[in-house]
Structure 1
Amino acid sequence: MKSCVTIALVPSITSGPWIYWNDLEASARKAAALGFAGIELFTASADAVSFDSLSALTQELGLSVGAVGTGAGKVIHGLTLTDPDPAIRAGAVTYIQDMISFGASVGAPAIIGSMQGNVPNGIDRERAMDWLAKGLTTLGDFAETNGVTLIYEPLNRYETNLINRLDDGVALLHSLNTRNVRLLADLFHMNIEEASLSDSIRRAGSLIGHVHFADSNRGPIGMGHTAMTAVAQALIDIDYQGYISAEAFPLPTPDEAAQQTIQSFNQYFG
């Protein structure tokens, strides 16, 4: 398992669950100095960061890019895979394809979280789920042609009414006409939705492709009440070998949150 820390690079967004903010180079240097293996990027668009500068920086620091987030597609552009307007759904697919290409250029998968959307008012659930499945299938195949997987994230009930639990995510993935989509196990969302985080992780098994490392209050691990010993053992039991990425509030400060995160990672996985 590999440690990873999030960096938000969207100037119009000033708060959220990301550890480092705005300055890619300074943030990456801090991450490397603390011993993180990778960085997860949240950018406004696929061309917000130059490939040459990112590649040179990560090579210099011995860092990898663990994943790229797509949430700005919804936050800034209002695009989701379940919008009733087919033009908006098509725009969401195009935006995510661009992010997949960006991530693939540095060997990183793209994450679909908020861009999945919701069951819209006046639309039955089956139809919305069909739109989601078609979008994920198209994007999973596109990611495969780019040599990366696609990561799908179940979110808690306050953020989506589509898929909230890992078990339902597993069922969704099995229904797709692609086998190139994996699940994101976000410990914060799971704390709200799962009866047992560790049991859910074991049932999902090899379908887990990314983990978001945040405590029950979405602070860094160690600042809430998540039973991390059991969670860590479950990840070991399924032979998870991906990134453990801190998508948590930068509390009390970004530097202190990063330090708390790497200490917790080393405690449970080091």
Structure 2
Amino acid sequence: MPIEVACHLNVLVPDAAEPGLTRALGALAELGYSHVVLPPFDPDGAPLAEWAALFRDHGLGPITMVGQAPGADVSSADPAEQERGAAALRRMVDATVALGGDQLNGVSYGLFGRAATAPPREAFERSAAQLGRVADAAHEQGVTMTFEVLNRYETAMINTAEQALDFVAVSGSDHLRVHLDTFHMAVEEADMLEAVRSAVPVLGYLELGQSGRGALGSGSVDAAAVVREAITAGYRGRIGLEAFSRSVLSAVATEVLAIWRDTYTDGAAIAAEAIDIVRSAEATVGSREGTA
């Protein structure tokens, strides 16, 4: 079976509002994508049944995202705040099920944003234990939970594949998975390919993001090499595209993500290039294995 390929919705449109959502899903389905990653949303106010029908109609599986908020943070030393953070994660697991999805990504281990100091080891361990419990419960509902490794300017908790492996081990969960993103890896990893190889046993999502947040074919990240390395190392999970442009994102998202430039204007073209890169890399590995 070919590798399943996902695309972040914000590559094409700023949010899940209509008529943009239906147009974006149609474009991704036509390009051959299997999944779409949704930007964060309020599970209590979203039209889950309506969205679920749209995903089914376009043959696309939804991948949801979840985070933490001040006062609801699993890494907090306050048990009540920890529980509120875990409850937010569980609500999004339920929303994922309602949408017909089977994967939940996100920065689920703590607050997003640059920290003044690195969190203590105790915060790391508290967060891992909470996520492990949620991941095990999510597995029972048919949902795989991953956590994204970010660069130092977006979190001080987990910046490298090595730290992510430690986090999984501390969690005590057999079901918690790692989400690696080449945009962040380009900042933090001394050897990106080795980092990918090391994480394959617990890798649940491999995201391709270029150094400048634009087209995969222009920048310092060799996306094709990353895909080839992952597949050669035995990875058969989903591979996703993430790209951001100021002309496409919402005003709020551009500020949060520091997207100051128009890195592209045609999201469908970016998505077309990305899936071609993945399929070509996949075919190259298959050809090597066929002649070995």
TM-score, normalised with respect to structure 2: 0.79
Q: Report the counterpart of residue 9 of structure 2 in structure 1.
A: 7
For residue 210 of structure 1, report the CA deviation from its aligned partner.
Answer: 0.5
Quote the Cα distance in structure 2 between the aligned partners of 1:93 and 1:178.
Answer: 15
Instruction: Report how many residues are paired.
Output: 257
Which stretch shows the higher mean deviation, 190-199 or 39-48? 39-48
Q: 1:107 to 1:178 in 2, by over 3 A?
A: same
Q: Report the counterpart of residue 21 of structure 1 in structure 2.
A: 14
Q: Report the counterpart of residue 202 of structure 1 in structure 2.
A: 197
Instruction: Give the share of equivalent positions with the same residue, in percent.
Output: 25
Where 1:240 maps in the other structure, the secondary structure is: coil
Q: Is 2:101 aligned against 1:107?
A: yes
After superposition, give the CA deviation of every residue in 1:3-57 in whole Å (9 maximum; x if it has no partner).
111125xxxxxxxxx4432232222112112221211111321244433322322
For residue 191 of structure 1, report the CA deviation from its aligned partner.
Answer: 0.8
Pick from 264, 275, 284 the counterpart of residue 252 of structure 1: 264
Pick from 29, 32, 36 the counterpart of residue 35 of structure 1: 32
For residue 148 of structure 1, report the CA deviation from its aligned partner.
Answer: 1.7
Q: What's the C-alpha RMSD, in Å, of the aligned pairs?
A: 2.5
Pick from 194, 217, 222 the counterpart of residue 212 of structure 2: 217
Q: 1:78 to 1:259 in 2, by over 3 A?
A: farther
Quote the Cα distance in structure 2 between the aligned partners of 1:117 and 1:81.
Answer: 9
Q: 1:124 to 1:36 in 2, by over 3 A?
A: closer
For residue 226 of structure 1, report the CA deviation from its aligned partner.
Answer: 0.9
Q: Report the counterpart of residue 263 of structure 1 in structure 2.
A: 276
**Amino acid of the residue matched to residue 199 of structure 1?**
E
**Amino acid of the residue matched to residue 33 of structure 1?**
E
Pick from 82, 85, 96 the counterpart of residue 89 of structure 1: 82
**Amino acid of the residue matched to residue 29 of structure 2?**
A
**Amino acid of the residue matched to residue 9 of structure 2?**
I
Where 1:43 maps in the other structure, the secondary structure is: coil
Q: Report the counterpart of residue 53 of structure 2 in structure 1.
A: 56
> Mind listing any 5+ residue stretches in structure 1 that lack a counterpart?
9-17
Q: Is 2:175 aligned against 1:180?
A: yes
> Mind listing any 5+ residue stretches in structure 2 that lack a counterpart?
246-262, 284-292
* Structure 1 outlier segments of 4+, above 4 Å: 118-124
- Report if the CA contact (8 A) 1:137-1:176 is conserved: yes
Quote the Cα distance in structure 2 between the aligned partners of 1:206 and 1:122.
Answer: 31
Quote the Cα distance in structure 2 between the aligned partners of 1:53 and 1:222.
Answer: 35
Q: Report the counterpart of residue 258 of structure 2 in structure 1.
A: none
